[in-house]
C-alpha cells in the first residue's frame, strides 16, 4: 500500500481504496490494539470498536471510586457491561486501575471519626479492594495497572506526596503488587505513568521499577500512558524511553495513547476544524510512532488508545482548555482519517 495522503482524503477523511481494513487486523502479527471505553461509548460507537479494536480498557468504570464508592459497597454494573462486550467480541481486557491518588474515595483514607486512617487500616482496605476486584475479574482481565502515577513530576522526591504515601509509607506500592498477584497469579501486573519520555521522569520510573524488581516484587510490565500530541515527544525520545524500560526485562504496554492536534503551549480556541497542516502533521506523527512501536513488537505487547474516535475524548473537556482536539485515527463520523491510512499502510 502506498503512503501518499491525497488532499481529498485530508478534507473528507475518505479513501478511494475500497474496503477499509480493520485496524487491529493490520497489527495481528504485532500487538493487540485497544480503546478506552464506557458503556455509553459502547452504545454509540460499538460497531466501530468491535471492528477495529481487539482490546478494551474501562476509561473510568474500574477505578476505585466507581467500584467501591462506600466502604464494602461494590458497584460492578458498568464494569461488568464492558467485560461482557469484550467477551462477546473476543477482545482482551486491561484492568485500570487499583491504586491511585485520584478517583479514589475519601473514606478509604479516613478512620471512624474522619481522622486519617492508620497504616494498618489503609493497607487492609487496599487488600480487600484488590482481592475483591481482581478476584471478580480473574480470567477476564489479563493485566492490571496496579499502581498508577505514584511518581512526583518535578520535585526532587521520587514519590508523589499522596495520601497513600503519607499514611502507608512507600511500601504501599510493593504491597499493592503482592496483593494483586495473590488475587490472580496469572494476571500481568503493570506500573503505569505519564510524561514517561521526559528524561527526569523517565529515570524516576526506571528507578522505582528497578527497586521493586530488586526486592522481588511481582511486577511484569510498565505502562507508558502516551498522552502525547502531534508535535512531541520526538520519535527519538520515545525510542530512548522504550529502550530504557525494556532494559529491565519487562513488557511494555502503551496504555493511553492520544495525539491531540494542539501542542502543549498552543492556546488557540478559535480553531473549529483542523487545518490541512494539522491533519498532515498528525498523519506523519502517527505513522512514525506506529513504525517505531512495530519495530519493538518483542517488548511492546499492547497498544491502547485513550478513546476510540474523535467525537469523544477526555481532552476536549480538560479543565481550562475545553476545545475540540481530534486526537484519534477515526473522525467524528467514525470514518478513517488520513492518520489511519498512514498507520495501516505497510
CB of 233 to ligand GLA, least distance (A): 16
Q: What binding mask, one character per residue, do residues 45-74 give for ligand GLA by CB under 6 A, x or -? A: ------------------------------
| 196 scored as a contact of ligand GLA (CB under 6 A) | no
CB of 39 to ligand GLA, least distance (A): 16
Looking at the Cβ atoms of 147 and 183, the one nearer to ligand GLA is 147
| 314 scored as a contact of ligand GLA (CB under 6 A) | yes
Residue closest to ligand GLA (Cβ): 314
Residue 3: C-alpha distances to residues 11, 215, 334, 345 (Å): 17, 47, 21, 6
Active-site positions read 149, 256
Site for ligand GLA in 218-277 (CB under 6 A): 225, 256
Phi then psi dihedrals of residue 313, to 5 deg: -150, 140
Looking at the Cβ atoms of 62 and 283, the one nearer to ligand GLA is 62
Looking at the Cβ atoms of 149 and 280, the one nearer to ligand GLA is 149
Please identify which residue in 172, 190, 194, 328 interacts with ligand GLA, judged by CB under 6 A: 194
Site for ligand GLA in 80-99 (CB under 6 A): 96
| 9 scored as a contact of ligand GLA (CB under 6 A) | no
Please identify which residue in 54, 148, 285, 302 interacts with ligand GLA, judged by CB under 6 A: 148
User: Which residue, chain included where needed, has cell 491518588?
Assistant: 101
Looking at the Cβ atoms of 30 and 311, the one nearer to ligand GLA is 311
CB of 1 to ligand GLA, least distance (A): 33
Looking at the Cβ atoms of 81 and 148, the one nearer to ligand GLA is 148
User: Which residue, chain included where needed, has cell 494498618?
Assistant: 120
CB of 150 to ligand GLA, least distance (A): 12
Total number of residues that touch ligand GLA (CB under 6 A)? 6
CB of 193 to ligand GLA, least distance (A): 8
CB of 345 to ligand GLA, least distance (A): 29
CB of 274 to ligand GLA, least distance (A): 21
Looking at the Cβ atoms of 12 and 60, the one nearer to ligand GLA is 60
Closest CA to 281 of 265, 262, 308, 255: 262
Looking at the Cβ atoms of 53 and 194, the one nearer to ligand GLA is 194
3-state secondary structure the chain: CCCCCCHHHHHHCCCCCCCCCCHHHHCCCCCCEEEEECHHHHHHHHHHHHHHCCEEEECCCCCHHHHCCECCECCCHHHHHHHHHHHHCCCEEEEEEEECCCCCCHHHHECCCCCECCHHHHHHHHHHHHHHHHHHCECCECEEEEEECCECCCCCCCECCCHHHHHHCCCHHHHHHHHHHHHCCCCEEEEEECCCCCHHHHHHHHHHHHHHHHCCCCCCEEEECCECCCCCCCHHHHHHHHHHHHCCCCEEEEEEEECCCCCCCCCCCCCCCCCHHHHHHHHHHHHHHHHHHHHCCCCEEEEEECCCCCCCCHHHHCCCCCCCCCCCCECCCCCECHHHHHHHCC
Cα–Cα distance, 303 to 199 (Å, whole number) = 22
Query: Are the C-beta atoms of 15 and 336 separated by less than 8 Å?
Result: yes
> Which residues would be at the binding site for ligand GLA (CB under 6 A)?
96, 148, 194, 225, 256, 314
Amino acid at each position: 500500500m502506498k503512503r501518499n495522503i491525497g488532499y481529498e482524503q485530508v478534507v473528507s477523511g475518505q479513501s478511494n481504496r475500497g474496503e477499509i481494513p480493520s485496524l487491529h487486523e493490520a497489527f495481528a502479527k504485532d500487538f493487540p490494539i485497544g480503546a478506552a471505553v464506557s458503556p455509553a461509548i459502547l452504545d454509540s460507537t460499538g460497531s466501530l470498536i468491535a471492528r477495529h479494536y481487539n482490546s478494551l480498557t474501562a476509561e473510568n468504570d474500574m477505578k476505585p471510586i466507581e467500584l467501591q464508592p462506600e466502604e464494602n459497597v461494590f458497584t460492578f454494573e458498568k464494569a461488568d457491561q464492558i467485560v461482557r462486550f469484550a467477551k462477546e467480541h473476543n477482545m482482551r481486557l486491561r484492568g485500570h486501575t487499583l491504586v491511585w491518588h485520584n478517583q479514589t474515595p475519601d473514606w478509604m483514607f479516613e478512620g471512624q471519626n474522619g481522622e486519617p486512617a492508620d497504616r494498618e487500616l489503609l493497607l487492609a482496605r487496599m487488600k480487600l479492594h484488590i482481592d475483591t476486584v481482581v478476584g471478580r475479574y480473574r480470567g477476564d482481565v489479563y493485566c492490571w495497572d496496579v499502581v498508577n502515577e505514584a511518581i512526583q513530576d518535578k520535585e526532587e522526591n521520587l514519590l508523589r506526596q499522596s495520601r497513600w504515601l503519607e499514611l502507608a509509607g512507600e511500601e504501599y506500592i510493593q504491597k499493592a503488587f503482592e496483593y494483586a498477584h495473590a488475587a490472580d497469579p496469572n494476571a500481568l501486573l503493570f506500573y503505569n505513568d505519564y510524561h514517561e519520555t521526559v528524561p527526569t521522569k523517565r529515570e524516576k520510573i526506571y528507578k522505582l521499577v528497578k527497586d521493586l524488581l530488586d526486592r522481588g516484587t511481582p511486577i511484569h510490565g510498565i505502562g507508558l500512558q502516551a498522552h502525547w500530541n502531534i508535535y512531541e515527544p520526538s520519535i527519538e525520545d520515545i525510542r530512548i524511553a522504550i529502550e530504557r524500560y525494556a532494559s529491565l526485562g519487562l513488557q511494555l504496554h502503551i496504555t493511553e495513547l492520544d495525539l491531540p492536534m494542539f501542542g502543549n503551549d498552543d492556546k488557540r480556541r478559535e480553531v473549529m476544524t483542523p487545518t490541512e497542516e494539522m491533519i498532515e502533521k498528525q498523519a506523519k506523527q502517527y505513522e512514525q510512532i506506529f513504525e517505531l512501536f512495530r519495530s519493538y513488537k518483542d517488548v511492546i505487547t499492547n497498544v491502547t488508545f485513550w478513546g476510540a474516535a474523535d467525537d469523544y475524548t477526555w481532552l476536549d473537556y480538560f479543565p481550562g482548555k475545553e476545545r475540540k482536539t481530534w486526537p484519534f485515527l477515526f473522525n467524528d463520523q467514525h470514518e478513517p482519517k488520513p492518520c489511519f491510512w498512514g498507520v495501516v499502510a505497510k
